[in-house]
Amino acid sequence: MLRYILFFLCFSGLWISSFSQEEKLNNAYLLIEQDTLNYGTIKMNSNGEKKLKVTNTGNADLIITSCKGSCGCTVPECPDYKLLPGESGEIKIVYDTKRIGVFSKTVTIKSNATNNTVYIKVRGEVTH
């Protein structure tokens, strides 16, 4: 009888784990080239545009649903199309360089990926 119980428990465990693996395999995953975008020192009124590469490393289509800066001086533009598994795209981030001083902002990206919310830190200093 003990043998049957052990067999049943082992079989049940394998059966349950097969479902959890299947779930993981059918998800998109958003990989960002870097999680901190450092502008360094830039001149006032200079071009504040930077681009980051993003890749879907999952096994399902990736759709970015929202792309927002923490203030009006940091404006992101995300792909408005789906990224197929293995496909890459770009996120354009524009920082308004009309204000002098050190800055530290955040861009929040939301998607249908397993890691559905990703944060990018945007840092630098604007000088004369």
Calculate what percentage of the chain has a pLDDT beyond 90.
76
CATH code of 45's domain: 2.60.40.10
Average pLDDT, the chain: 87
Determine the pLDDT at residue 28: 95
DSSP code string of the chain: -HHHHHHHHHHHHHHHHHHHHHHHHT---EEES-SEEEEEEEETTS--EEEEEEEE-SSS-B-EEEEEESSTTEEEE--SSPBPTT-EEEEEEEE-TTS-EEEEEEEEEEESSSS-EEEEEEEEEEE-
Once rounded to an integer, what is the mean pLDDT over residues 102-113? Answer: 96
Nearest to 94 by CA among 43, 31, 37: 37
Domain count, the chain: 1
Determine the pLDDT at residue 15: 58
Once rounded to an integer, what is the mean pLDDT over residues 64-92? Answer: 93
Q: Which domain holds residue 24?
A: 3-127
Give CA–CA dist 111/109, Å, rounded: 7
Determine the pLDDT at residue 22: 47
pLDDT tens, position by position, 6-64: 555 655 565 565 555 445 567 999 999 999 999 999 999 999 999 999 999 999 999 99
